[in-house]
Amino acid sequence: MIIASQKRKENIAEYILYMWQVEDIIRANDLDIDKIRKNVIDRFNLTDAQRTEMEQWYESLIDMMRREGVTEKGHLQINHNILNQLVQLHQRLLQDPEFPEYTAEFYRTLPFIVELRSKAGDSAVGEIETCFTALYGMLMMRLQKKEASKATEDAIKQITRFIATLSRNFHLDEEDKLFKHDDESDTKA
C-alpha cells in the first residue's frame, strides 16, 4: 500500500507491475489475511497505525478479488482501469502529429508485440497489455533467477523503452502538461 501509493505517483508502469505482483502474492497466500500478515506485512517495520492500514488494504484487495472473480487468475478492475487509461492515451498520442517520437518508438516496438501475441495465441489482448504481460513475465523470470534468450532480452529492452515513454507521457498528461490546449492555440492565431 505504501509502495503502491509511491509508485502510482512516480511511475504508472511500475505501479501496474507492482499491483499485478500484489495480486499474485495474495493468491500465493490463498487469499488468507493471516498468511499475508505473517509472510508479507510482518516483514515491514511499521507503526501500529501503518500495520492496521496495510492489513485493511490487503483485506480490501482480497475482498475485491473474490467479488470480481480473479482469485485464480486475471486482474482487478482497478488495475484494468489504469491500463485502459494508458491505452486511451496511447491511441491519442498516435493520432496526434505533435508526437512523432512516440509514434516512432511504438513502431519500433510493434514487431515484438506482434510476435508475442502470436506466441500467446491471443490476438484479442491489446498492444499495451501485451507489453505489460511481457514485462511482468520477465520480472517473474528474474525473481526466479531464470535466464532469458538474447532475443527475449532485446525485445524486453525495446518494450521497456516504449512503456517508459508512455509512462512519462501519462504523468505529463495527469499534470495537464502534455497536450496543447485549444485556448492556447486560439491566442496564438
- pLDDT 10s per residue in the chain (189 long)? 677 888 888 899 999 999 999 999 999 999 999 999 999 999 999 999 999 999 999 999 999 999 999 999 999 999 999 999 999 999 999 999 999 999 999 999 999 999 998 888 776 789 999 999 999 999 999 999 999 999 999 999 999 999 999 999 999 999 999 988 655 444 444
State residue 124's pLDDT score.
76
Cβ–Cβ < 8 Å for 178, 169 = yes
**Smallest Cα–Cα separation from 115: which of 103, 127, 106?**
127
Q: Can you spell out the DSSP letters for 148-174?
A: --HHHHHHHHHHHHHHHHHHHHHHHHH
pLDDT of residue 183: 52
Given a contact cutoff of 8 angstroms between Cβ atoms, the answer to whether 42 and 87 are in contact is no
Rounded CA separation 152/103 (Å): 22
pLDDT of residue 135: 97
pTM above 0.85, yes or no: yes
Per-residue pLDDT at 119: 85
Domain-by-domain residue ranges, the chain? 2-68, 77-178
